Structure 1
């Protein structure tokens, strides 16, 4: 990157934490006077929690990040469109269609119907997302992690046996109260990164792992064959932001997901899960909260540079400050 050129930033993200962080990165770039942030910022979005429901294709993480960047997201619920209604959803339930515990807003359904129509006409998820991005000035280029359908299946322990269900049923209906045994993305071994993903990583000045759920948001992205290899080969630093503050998850049930794969709910343990790029892992640097500053030396012992900084994204200014700290690690 030349001294006067805009930094090329790639973010791997999913979920509410990912949405807030991406907003912060865009704000940090704009605070630097960069007007065309879409040319500088690429977001690789988790599609592992996608699903078919009532004949339409849902992409929860894609939509959450799109709506957040467009400024039309429901910030109270953390998902869906602001000011949405649920008339069609109630009618679906009267017909016994869909899931009664999975609410689809009317405006949200409009998105799903448009997406499904384009998919049925032969478009790929990459082309569909590009088309969706034209509606609003998002200030970022969004890419799905893959064009393949690799929905997340959770195997849970129930009574004396085990059974499997879609991630959204476990997450939304059961609120992660059923003990997970494992998480799978059937077909991911044959999947490939979506067009543009590997090139964006190779050309980036910094790659950021958002403070998203390490298991079901970042994990599926890293499981797409070729993505992990692209990160390890990237000439730019790979910087992660801890989703754990003070030994607790900020939102959602990431602690349950981490326990299922034998990882403690701590900033140090998640850093170890990702690993150091100096070894066989991914991270060059790891941002940890002030509440977890005591483990900074232990993170460094893993071969990962640590930076202790405020991680709470309670408003736009704090999200931008966090993003600025992450960019600063790479000297950008």
Structure 2
């Protein structure tokens, strides 16, 4: 069984952890032979940026740390038990963003990545090298080796055209998405292509899963990479997504500040319709919503979607594994 997941950071990492747990349980029960399941995660790169002279890949590192069991579960990002002495020193020198903290252990990852990039390795080659440190049980691939950093155009009456543009991380972390967004723009798309292994993972999959990540800035950025959407159209694998919206509210993050910008309601069914039915030229074969959104699942089924209502809250290994099992079940008609 070959499974490919498209994922962002925190929500994506929790879902992939649940998927790994479900597959391990199937192996333990004899339902799967050891090593029969192969999981590849295509990771959003829109959050990536250069800061203080080092290359950051926040979503990739969130997945890496979570799968390695060294992540900070309280904050949802960074390394557990990290210190911030270097960040404090950088602030004294006026280097970087004082509101964007890098932990010391986390900074070690960024320095290693940057050193390898300076030596001529590509981001996907660096990603493979970083994964050698821990036994993750899955393979992580950045969506692209190109620098496709996401920028946000926000309303600003002090500017001549009424707008200004900033990196997504500034809008997200510094301003907590409080500045009204006008548009999201992925820089560098013209020269971008899927990283080696991405298209192959999609075309060769038995199932493709969309993690409950931000549809605009995470999944949306992955889909914007030329060649990825085409691979999803071509693959014979069913494509099943998990709603990042429960009861009209975001599970985590600020997707509710992003969806209206592209004309989509903060609603589980609206996100499914945004992705579209594969039979009608869209993306999805199946869609999972939470039990509280059962009427939305019924409405989607009436529109021709394969949709089910199941518990979506990933509170622990059991609930996360159960959600992954439900997603896999929906890949089978």
What TM-score, normalized to structure 2? 0.96
- Map 1:1-332 onto structure 2 (within 5 A): 7-33=1-27, 40-159=38-157, 161-331=162-332
Farther off after superposition, 219-228 or 31-40 = 31-40
What secondary structure sits across from 1:89 in the alignment?
helix
The whole-number CA distance in structure 1 between the counterparts of 2:143 and 2:35 is 20
Cα pair distance change 1:115/1:75, threshold 3 Å: same
Q: Deviations for 1:247-273, whole angstroms, at most 9, x for unmatched residues?
A: 110111000100111110000100011
What secondary structure sits across from 1:306 in the alignment?
strand
Aligned residues: 326
1:80 Cα deviation (Å)?
A: 0.1
1:317 Cα deviation (Å)?
A: 1.0
What secondary structure sits across from 2:282 in the alignment?
coil
Q: What residue ranges of structure 1 are gaps of 5+ in the alignment?
A: 1-6
1:302 Cα deviation (Å)?
A: 3.6
Cα pair distance change 1:109/1:283, threshold 3 Å: same
Preserved CA contact (<8 Å) 1:70 1:138? yes
Preserved CA contact (<8 Å) 2:23 2:37? no
1:297 Cα deviation (Å)?
A: 2.5
Preserved CA contact (<8 Å) 2:55 2:113? yes
Cα pair distance change 1:39/1:29, threshold 3 Å: closer
What secondary structure sits across from 1:181 in the alignment?
strand
Moved segments of 4+, more than 6 Å: none
1:35 Cα deviation (Å)?
A: 7.7
Cα pair distance change 1:119/1:35, threshold 3 Å: farther
1:301 Cα deviation (Å)?
A: 3.5
1:51 Cα deviation (Å)?
A: 0.2
Q: Deviations for 1:123-175, whole angstroms, at most 9, x for unmatched residues?
A: 00010000000000000011000000000000001235210000000000000
The whole-number CA distance in structure 2 between the counterparts of 1:104 and 1:261 is 31
Q: What residue ranges of structure 2 are gaps of 5+ in the alignment?
A: none
Preserved CA contact (<8 Å) 2:70 2:79? yes
Query: What is the CA RMSD across the aligned residues, in angstroms?
Result: 1.3
Preserved CA contact (<8 Å) 2:3 2:37? no
The whole-number CA distance in structure 2 between the counterparts of 1:38 and 1:215 is 33
Name the structure 2 match of 1:3: none
What secondary structure sits across from 1:28 in the alignment?
helix
What TM-score, normalized to structure 1? 0.96
Farther off after superposition, 76-85 or 39-48 = 39-48
The whole-number CA distance in structure 2 between the counterparts of 1:151 and 1:173 is 17
What secondary structure sits across from 2:196 in the alignment?
coil
Preserved CA contact (<8 Å) 1:48 1:150? yes
The whole-number CA distance in structure 2 between the counterparts of 1:47 and 1:303 is 32
The whole-number CA distance in structure 1 between the counterparts of 2:179 and 2:35 is 42
